[in-house]
């Protein structure tokens, strides 16, 4: 691409002439081409003078309130909207053999300080994805002693009267097992019931449940985040 081609491309970008696909392609190219990126930045800074020729407009006095409402709705939806495909364990309704132990598991789950578990290698690691936009939301490390460590990558919390409940699905026959409940995503360690060693491909997820935990002992609320475990490369 000649210098002139780059100037022309930066020009189209700043003038708003690129369609969506071209816009994305431009941003990818600019990320690795400092000359192109600088051209676009310089040109857009200079063209800003044209935007600044406007006389500020009057606007609806309720506009700020509308923005605040939108922010509040979005904040709430980070936790509650997420009406996802309830795939994974919800479809595998084969819980019978373990229904009893799941109830026990709810009682057993407890939080323990990380200090109690110094550097120790997890058996498997799972990245749980936000089911709204598929962005990574929580890292789960599962250890051989039936404990899991949660490391949230984004903040989310359960509204009043509800809890976040952490589940795993050791296998389809066993059905989902609760690893414990919490109010807000935080870096902590949960100790679940006695389970087989976590496997590669094992499902982990967090659902929103009524406090103090799912009334049925299996996931009933929306899945907020979920992901499949992988074994660490030795």
Interface residues with another protein (CB under 8 A) are 4, 7-8, 10-12, 14-17, 19, 37, 39, 41-60, 63-64, 66-68, 70-71, 74
CB of 74 to another protein, least distance (A): 7
Coil, helix or strand for 226? strand
Q: Compute the distance between CA of residue 174 and CA of residue 99 in angstroms, rounded to an integer.
A: 9
14 vs 89, which CB is nearer to another protein?
Answer: 14
In sequence order, what are the beta bridge partners of 227?
A: 204
68 vs 145, which CB is nearer to another protein?
Answer: 68
9 vs 98, which CB is nearer to another protein?
Answer: 9
Q: For residue 189, give both structure tokens.
A: 């360690």
CB of 156 to another protein, least distance (A): 14
CB of 72 to another protein, least distance (A): 10
Q: Compute the distance between CA of residue 12 and CA of residue 191 in angstroms, rounded to an integer.
A: 57
> Kind of pairing, strands 124-130 and 203-210?
unpaired
CB of 64 to another protein, least distance (A): 6
Angle at which helices 20-32 and 34-51 pack, to 10 degrees?
Answer: 120
33 vs 103, which CB is nearer to another protein?
Answer: 33
């Amino acid at each position: 691409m000649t210098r002139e081609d780059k100037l022309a491309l930066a020009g189209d970008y700043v003038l708003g002439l690129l369609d969506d696909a071209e816009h994305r392609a431009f941003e990818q190219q600019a990320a690795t081409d400092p000359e192109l990126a600088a051209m676009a930045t310089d040109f857009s800074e200079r063209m800003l003078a044209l935007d600044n020729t406007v006389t500020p407009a009057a606007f609806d006095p309720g506009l700020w309130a509308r923005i605040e409402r939108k922010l509040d709705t979005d904040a709430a939806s980070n936790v509650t909207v997420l009406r996802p495909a309830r795939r994974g364990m919800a479809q595998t309704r084969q819980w019978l053999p373990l229904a009893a132990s799941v109830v026990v598991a709810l009682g057993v789950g407890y939080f323990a300080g990380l200090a109690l578990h110094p550097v120790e290698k997890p058996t498997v690691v799972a990245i749980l994805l936000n089911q709204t936009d598929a962005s990574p939301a929580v890292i789960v490390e599962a250890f051989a002693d039936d404990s899991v460590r949660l490391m949230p990558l984004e903040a989310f919390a359960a509204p009043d009267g509800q809890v976040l409940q952490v589940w795993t699905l050791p296998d389809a026959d066993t059905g989902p097992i609760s690893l414990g409940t919490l109010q807000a995503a935080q870096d902590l360690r949960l100790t679940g019931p006695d389970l087989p060693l976590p496997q590669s491909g094992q499902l982990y997820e967090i659902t929103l449940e009524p406090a103090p935990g799912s009334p049925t002992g299996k996931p009933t609320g929306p899945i907020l985040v979920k992901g499949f475990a992988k074994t660490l490369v030795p």
